[in-house]
């Protein structure tokens, strides 16, 4: 027993070597396996939103979800084990950016076990209560840490400059976008992407029902009130714009970045509604393309505060103008209350501007990496 304990101590003892980075290809594989993980959750969200009778934890969609967790976790652990075999120990064996994901793996497994016990004892949630289950909240937090591993890896990687190409930044974009879908899933009761065009037009014509069922909790379209749609637009605006502003503060984003992120972000509400609201989802893909055009024109960055603020405000204004414009074009015409459909994009733009000011209150200057962190390494 004593010899075993001594062996374990030697194994985990930190060799105090500088932690290295994995290769871009390794980050790409991590991101691709994270897609498997994320798609599994979307299938599960579809089932909870569209199937009325769920009586067991052991379902095909749970199999896809937890198999995704298994493969991405195995891949992350393998990166650490490769370094251990090369002679590194302790934290020195964990690639930069991979520590939080590594720690989240056993935590996720524990919450998964708790979720199985919860469903066995208390049943399967099918309405808004699914977003407040303690086991589900634990799963979404730990899952976020796992799938954002490529983002943390790229954040200070020495080969990622201030203007990275899209291919180099893609794993980080994918990881952060899928993490954003987790947030949107657990705030589905305030998700504007789940409304159909007709419901939006009716709501902003004061024809909605204030007591309507939350979107995404059943297969039928329902009427909604104007204040419900307006509040959901605010919530969704903050959820979807914030990760873009985070990245724009760090890098001058390559063309296509926002389109990639918004396309991925639209998948979760699409899965929850079985893509019955396709025009609204496509409006966000178009908004992502518009955001890329704005970045090319304004070149927002942490060093260009005015351009950064302008991008934050204008991108939000354009996004929600497209949202209402496409809803009107496919949902029966302009809403009946001009103040609502003209003022809502302005409110969104002002919120975007406020977010820009919060993310970047003062312009920042580029700083070189500390000597101890400017070390590349194979993992």
d(CA 183, CA 361): 25
Structure tokens at 255: 């063309």
Burial group, residue 272, by CB count within 10 angstroms (0-12, 13-18, 19+): buried
Distance set, CA 73 to CA 112, 263, 281, 367 (Å): 14, 25, 31, 33
3-state secondary structure of 273: coil
CA neighbor of 25 nearest in space, from 142, 162, 159, 163:
159
d(CA 233, CA 311): 19
Query: Could you give all domains of the chain from N- to C-terminal order, each with its CATH number?
Result: 13-165 (1.20.120), 187-365 (no CATH)
pLDDT of residue 90: 85
In tens digits, the chain (379 residues) has pLDDT values of 544 444 445 556 666 677 888 999 999 999 999 998 888 887 877 776 666 665 555 567 667 888 889 999 999 999 999 998 888 888 889 999 999 999 999 999 999 888 778 766 666 655 676 777 788 889 999 999 999 999 999 998 998 988 999 999 999 999 999 999 999 988 988 999 999 999 999 999 984 444 444 444 344 444 789 999 999 999 999 999 999 999 999 999 999 999 999 999 999 899 888 899 999 999 999 999 999 999 999 999 999 999 999 999 999 999 999 999 999 999 989 999 999 999 999 999 999 999 999 999 998 875 555 444 443 333 3
| Strand ranges inside the chain, DSSP E | none
3-state secondary structure of 301: strand
3-state secondary structure of 304: strand
pLDDT of residue 68: 87
pLDDT of residue 49: 66
Q: pTM of the prediction?
A: 0.84
């Amino acid at each position: 027993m004593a010899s075993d304990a001594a062996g374990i101590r030697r194994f985990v003892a930190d060799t105090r070597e500088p932690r290295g980075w994995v290769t871009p290809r390794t980050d790409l594989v991590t991101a691709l396996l994270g897609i498997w993980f994320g798609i599994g959750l979307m299938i599960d969200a579809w089932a909870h939103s569209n199937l009325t009778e769920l009586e067991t934890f052991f379902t095909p969609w749970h199999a896809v979800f937890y198999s995704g967790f298994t493969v991405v976790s195995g891949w992350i652990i393998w990166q650490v084990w490769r370094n251990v075999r090369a002679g590194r120990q302790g934290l020195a064996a964990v690639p930069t950016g991979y520590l939080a994901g590594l720690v989240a793996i056993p935590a996720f497994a524990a919450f998964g076990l708790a979720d199985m016990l919860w469903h066995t004892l208390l049943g399967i949630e099918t309405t808004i209560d699914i977003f407040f289950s303690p086991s589900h909240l634990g799963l979404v937090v730990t899952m976020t840490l796992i799938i954002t591993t490529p983002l943390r890896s790229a954040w200070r990687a020495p080969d990622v400059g201030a203007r990275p190409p899209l291919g180099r930044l893609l794993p980080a974009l994918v990881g952060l976008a899928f993490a954003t879908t987790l947030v949107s899933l657990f705030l589905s009761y305030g998700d504007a992407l789940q409304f159909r065009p007709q419901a939006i037009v009716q709501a902003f014509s004061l024809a909605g029902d204030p007591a309507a069922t939350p979107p995404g909790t059943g297969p039928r379209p329902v009427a909604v009130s104007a204040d419900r749609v307006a509040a959901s637009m605010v919530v969704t605006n903050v959820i979807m714009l914030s990760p873009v502003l985070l990245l724009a503060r760090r890098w001058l984003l390559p063309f296509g970045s926002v389109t990639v992120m918004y396309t991925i972000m639209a998948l979760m509400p699409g899965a929850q509604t079985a893509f019955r609201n396709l025009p609204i989802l496509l409006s966000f893909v178009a908004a992502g393309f518009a955001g890329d055009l704005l970045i090319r024109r304004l070149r927002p960055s942490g060093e260009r505060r005015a351009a950064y603020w302008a991008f934050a405000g204008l991108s939000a204004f354009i996004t929600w103008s497209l949202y209402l414009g496409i809803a009107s074009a496919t949902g029966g015409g302009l809403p009946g209350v001009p103040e609502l459909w003209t003022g809502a994009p302005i409110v969104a733009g002002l919120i975007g501007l406020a977010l820009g000011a919060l993310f970047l209150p003062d312009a920042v200057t580029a700083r070189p990496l500390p000597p101890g962190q400017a070390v590349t390494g194979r993992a």
